[in-house]
Amino acid sequence: MRAVSRTIPSLFGRTPLALRWLMAAFVLLSLCAVTSNDASAATPSVTAPTISINTSGSKEMTTNEIYSGLKLAILLSGLVFLPSIIMTATSFTRIAIVLAVTRQAIGTAQTPPNQVIMGLALFLTIGIMNPVFTEIYEKSLVPYSEDQIGHGEAMSKAFAPLRTFMLRHTREQDLALFQEVTKSAPVDSPEELNAAVVIPAFVISELNTAFQIAFLIYLPFVILDMIISSVLTSMSMITLPPTVISLPIKLMLFVVIDGWGLIIGNLVRSYHVT
């Protein structure tokens, strides 16, 4: 035993450094293997849950399951167009433009930030369009999910409340313009117009109305800037930018008259007027 103990250090002393590390790693791996075998024998094995997807078209899948899966895929695919519909077929366009122009008229560059303006416009749109969304849900989505109506009828019933809302706020000249652009056939009533005519005409009308409201909001601030600029010029304070004086005055007046409340209240009421 003494001879073996003497020969091991001498063997390590005569071998190169790389071989020493290799032998040490081999011993450590052997110890780890023995320890893991003992631990696995002592503890029970845990099996992870598995998920299987059947793509072989076996007879176990019924026709109702295939139809339900197809309906779900169509509904999820329709969510891709949801942002475009919200921005074009609702009151979002007018509200977002008016709020952005109000911020620019006050002179606060990025205050409130774009995220706040877009979020406020979105929640105001939900509040204004709530009766329309409720009608779409009750007359289109619920019967479609219960297999009472088909795809085409669900689409027509979902678009009917939106078309009624858009026609209420669309100018006739814009409808005539897009009827000419799309070369649509003449119709007896505006309710028979399709989406390719109603939606772009509604967007143009909303842009026109939003710019009219923005002009009325912008005009008092421009007059105030002109007054302050003329006062500074008459006092020979040409080097002082007028915005340094006009910005706190505009902010004070806007807060005193409750500007945000007046603008948002009139925006909401403009859609409730029939």
Q: Where are the domains of the chain?
A: 63-213
10: confidence class by pLDDT, cuts 50, 70, 90: very low
Position 251: which residue type?
A: L
Q: Mean pLDDT over residues 86-104, rounded? A: 90
Distance CA 203, CA 256 (A): 34
* pLDDT computed for residue 71 by the predictor: 64
Q: Mean pLDDT over residues 117-130, rounded? A: 91
* pLDDT computed for residue 5 by the predictor: 44
94: confidence class by pLDDT, cuts 50, 70, 90: very high
* pLDDT computed for residue 202 by the predictor: 92
- Tell me: pLDDT of 101 over 60: yes
123: confidence class by pLDDT, cuts 50, 70, 90: very high
Is the model more confident about 270 or about 18?
270
pLDDT digits (tens, 9 = 90+) for 161-191: 888 899 989 998 988 888 888 888 888 787 7
What CA–CA distances, in Å, run from 218 to 104, 212, 224?
A: 8, 10, 10
* pLDDT computed for residue 212 by the predictor: 92
* pLDDT computed for residue 11 by the predictor: 45
- Please list, residue by residue across 202-219, b when 16 or more beta carbons sit within 10 angstroms of its beta carbon and e when fewer do: bbbbbeebbeebbeebbe
Distance CA 92, CA 199 (A): 13
pLDDT digits (tens, 9 = 90+) for 23-53: 555 555 555 544 444 444 444 444 544 444 4
Is the model more confident about 196 or about 242?
196
Q: Mean pLDDT over residues 90-104, rounded? A: 91
- What is the pTM for the complete model shown? 0.67
Instruction: Give CB contacts under 8 A, 24+ apart, made by 218-224.
Output: 218/101, 218/104, 218/105, 221/105, 221/106, 221/107, 221/250, 222/105, 224/249, 224/250, 224/253
With CA atoms as reference, report the closest residue to 199 among 93, 97, 80, 99: 93
186's CB contacts (< 8 A; 6+ apart) are 179
Q: Mean pLDDT over residues 156-160, rounded? A: 85
Enclosing H/E stretch for 189: none
* pLDDT computed for residue 234 by the predictor: 80
The share of the chain scoring above pLDDT 90, in percent, equals 14
Position 209: which residue type?
A: T
- Cα 45 to its chain centre, rounded Å, is 46
- Tell me: pLDDT of 58 over 60: no
Is the model more confident about 62 or about 125?
125
pLDDT digits (tens, 9 = 90+) for 189-241: 877 788 888 899 999 999 999 999 999 998 988 888 888 888 877 887 777 77
Distance CA 189, CA 201 (A): 16
- Tell me: pLDDT of 80 over 60: yes
What CA–CA distances, in Å, run from 55 to 39, 51, 61, 76, 227?
A: 40, 13, 10, 20, 75
Q: Mean pLDDT over residues 116-121, rounded? A: 91
